[in-house]
């Protein structure tokens, strides 16, 4: 007979992933053991294995949950906002999630290679969908870039390079709120982006 799940099963899984994210972000995936995670959760390793098969399963579920949330929220923006508002809304969304899920964001940037090839490929596919949201939004601002896909990709990745590593210096509880940072990033990027020639 299958073991019945407790009513707080999902909450406990989330707490385990949150504790693991803090450890992975601080000391790296390889340097973190199942014992470290169990200790951080104040539970035994055997109890941990009731919720996850192994350490990679924790990493995989953590990153999948993180990316799926970004994708779901991006789709909501695209379906409800006028095209000219997509960019600012999506950037605000990214930076808000980065600020509130900083550890998961750091793990995504630094620990993806620890996953199996199959799981890594699935997450990369989802990341490409996120990239496409920004690419298509930039194209709405610069339709003349449609014929230069190479440069459009360069511009898209430059933008991600600007916002993805805000975690190295930005504090969400500091003087600048996530929404204010997003507005500043969009203003800086678009003011230059709308004037720069569509060629290198």
Rounded to whole angstroms, the Cα distance separating 65 from 112 reads 14
pLDDT of residue 2: 47
pLDDT of residue 4: 57
Q: 3-class DSSP state for residue 60?
A: helix
Supply the CATH number for residue 155's domain.
Answer: 1.10.357.10
Tokens representing 111? Answer: 């620990």
Q: In sequence order, what E strands does the chain have?
A: none
Residue 21 domain flag: no
Residue 150 domain flag: yes
pLDDT of residue 200: 64
pLDDT of residue 198: 73
Residue 33 domain flag: no
Q: Structural domain tally of the chain?
A: 1
pLDDT of residue 67: 94
pLDDT of residue 3: 54
Residue 74 domain flag: yes
For residue 10, report the phi and psi dihedrals to the nearest 5 degrees: -65, -40
DSSP state of 5: P
| Cβ count within 10 A of residue 90 | 22
pLDDT of residue 199: 72
Residue 141 domain flag: yes
pLDDT of residue 196: 73
Tokens representing 134? Answer: 């920004």
Residue 22 domain flag: no
Contact 72, 93 (CB under 8 A): no
Residue 126 domain flag: yes
Q: What is the CA angle 178-184-190, rounded to 5?
A: 130
For residue 175, report the phi and psi dihedrals to the nearest 5 degrees: -70, -20
pLDDT in tens, the chain (200 residues): 445 566 788 899 999 999 999 999 999 999 999 999 999 999 899 999 999 999 999 999 999 999 999 999 888 888 876 766 778 888 888 888 888 888 999 999 999 999 999 999 999 999 999 999 889 888 888 888 889 999 999 999 999 998 888 888 888 888 888 888 888 888 888 877 777 777 76
Rounded to whole angstroms, the Cα distance separating 124 from 112 reads 9
Contact 159, 134 (CB under 8 A): yes
Residue 27 domain flag: no
Domain housing 137: 54-193
Residues 48, 49, 52, 57: what is their CA dihedral angle, to the nearest 10 degrees?
100
Residues 130, 136, 140, 142: what is their CA dihedral angle, to the nearest 10 degrees?
110
Tokens representing 136? Answer: 């298509």
pLDDT of residue 105: 92
């Amino acid at each position: 007979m299958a073991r019945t799940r407790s009513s707080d099963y999902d909450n406990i899984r989330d707490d385990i992933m949150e504790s693991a994210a803090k450890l992975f972000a601080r000391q790296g995936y390889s340097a973190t053991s199942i014992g470290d995670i169990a200790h951080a959760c104040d539970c035994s390793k055997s109890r941990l294995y009731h919720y996850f098969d192994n350490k990679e399963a924790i990493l995989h579920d953590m990153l999948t949950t993180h990316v799926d949330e970004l994708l779901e929220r991006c789709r909501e923006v695209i379906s409800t906002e006028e095209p000219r508002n997509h960019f600012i809304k999506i950037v605000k969304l990214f930076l808000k999630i980065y600020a509130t899920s900083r550890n998961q964001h750091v793990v995504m940037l630094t620990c993806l290679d620890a996953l199996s090839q199959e799981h890594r490929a699935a997450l990369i596919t989802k990341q490409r969908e996120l990239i496409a949201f920004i690419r298509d939004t930039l194209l709405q601002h610069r339709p003349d870039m449609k014929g230069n896909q190479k440069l459009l990709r360069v511009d898209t990745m430059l933008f991600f390079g600007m916002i993805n590593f805000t975690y190295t210096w930005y504090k969400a509880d500091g003087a600048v709120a996530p929404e204010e940072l997003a507005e500043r990033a969009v203003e800086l990027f678009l003011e230059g982006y709308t004037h720069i020639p569509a060629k290198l």
